Every structure is written in C-alpha cells, then in structure tokens.
Amino acid sequence: MHKVKLNLAIIGYGKMGKTIHRIAEKKGHTVSVIIRSTNTGDMQNLPPGIDAAIEFSKPESAVANLEILARKGIPTVCGTTGWDRYREQVRTLYTDLQTGFVYASNFSIGMNIFFHINKKLAMIMNTQPDFSVEIRETHHTEKLDAPSGTAITIAEDIVKRIERKDNWVNQPSGKENEIPIISHRVANVKGEHSVSYTSDLDKLVFTHQARSREGFAEGAIIAAEFIAQRKGVFSFEDILGL
C-alpha cells in the first residue's frame, strides 16, 4: 500500500464526503480541495499536486466529474452509483489516458468479501436448478437510486454464473430467467444486502449489514492510497487481493 501521506481532493461533500474528510485527516492525509454543490465550477480549475481524488457525488454529475479528473491525470476513486450506462466509456477514457481509476459500488471491506463469496456461491448454484434466487436491499431514505449499485453488482455477478438467469428486475418476478431485486428505503439504515436461494426443501440466505458509514470511508481511503501510485483501471477486489 501507498504509505506516503496524500494530498486529496474530495468531490461531493454529503455525509460520505464529510466522513471521508474526517477519517482521511485522522490517518494523516491532507484534504486540500473540497467540491460541494455550491462550488462545482472549481472542477475546471483544480490545483496541481493532487495525489488522488475521491468522488462521491450524485449520478447526474459523476460522469462529467470523472472526465475532468481523467483528463487532468488525477488518480481517482469513485463510489458514486447510478451511472452504469456510462461505465465502459469512463473506463476506456482512464485506460487511454493512463490515469489511475478505481470504481466500486461499495467500498466496505466486508461487502467486497461478500462479492467474492457471492460469485463462488453462484457457480455452485448453477448446478442446482431447483433453487430460485432473490436479492433484497435496504438503505436510508436519503439514497436516491434504486436498486442500489451494490445490489446491481450482486445481481450481475450471479447472471454471469447461473446459466438459467439472464436479467434482473427491481420488482418481484416469477420468470425463470429473471433475478428479482426487492428494494426498501428505511430511515437510519446504513445498508443491508441479502441473497437468498430457495427450493421446496431448503432456504439459504447470505447477508451483509453495514454497521457504520465509516467502513465505506475507510475503504475509499485504502483505495486512494493504492491508486495514487498506479495507472490503469482497478476494482476494489484487486486491491484486497481477491
């Protein structure tokens, strides 16, 4: 990991941005640039010397922010979700410009272990056609996108590994080829995701509960420490060696 203290930019200063700021300084890093909703024009005039940017803004502004950071050669960690249709375009831009980029729909270390096990479990369940699969996710009421980016990642990883599944939907479904994602928005819930496999004889439920927003912030800073000295596109699972 990158042990040198970093000069960071935080793009997006909601609850996550504020938590990242606090923990980054606690770990000895400097936050020299903060882009809030009130100073978005400053994105065009970012100062030199930024080691990494951590982008946790909103879906409607994320792609424009990422394009600016890529063209300025600033290694970037992005945790904003809800802009999936542009993901390959952004990955290609960072690759072509040889700028470091880490995107994750979830920066919790525990959730990324969950992602890893979810893939393994899906491979096993590919041979068990009697089991149906369902994903449930619950978040705080301030979360704007549904399903969550994390739930989409879980679903897409299953679709790639279970041959009888080729799509996910954000509602209950009785279709053999679809994975239903059931979304709930409840006050003061940090985030919970579960995958269940159900047959007439058994039910298997695999769950992750986020206990604090600090877990996501810690992961984002670990990613910034990693990407600050690298070029190209990485996943958080790459960083964790999974």
Task: Give the predicted TM-score (pTM) of the model.
Answer: 0.83
Of the candidates 13, 5, 11, 18, the residue with the CA atom closest to the CA atom of residue 217: 18
What is the radius of gyration, based on Cα positions, of the chain? 19
User: pLDDT digits over 167-201, tens only?
Assistant: 999 999 989 999 999 999 998 888 899 999 999 99
User: pLDDT digits over 84-143, tens only?
Assistant: 899 999 999 999 999 999 999 889 999 999 999 999 999 999 999 999 999 999 998 888
pLDDT at 53 over 90: yes
Helices (H), 98-182: 109-125, 149-159
Alpha carbons within 13 angstroms on the beta-carbon side of residue 202 total 9
In the chain, the amino acid numbered 35 is: I
Percent of the chain surpassing pLDDT 90: 85
DSSP 225: H
Placement of tokens 């996910």 in the chain: 168
- On average, the pLDDT of the chain sits at 94
How do 52-55 and 7-11 pair as beta strands?
Answer: parallel
DSSP states of 175-186? -TTEEEEEEEE-
Catalytic residues: 139, 143
What is the rounded CA–CA span in Å between residue 64 and residue 234?
Answer: 20
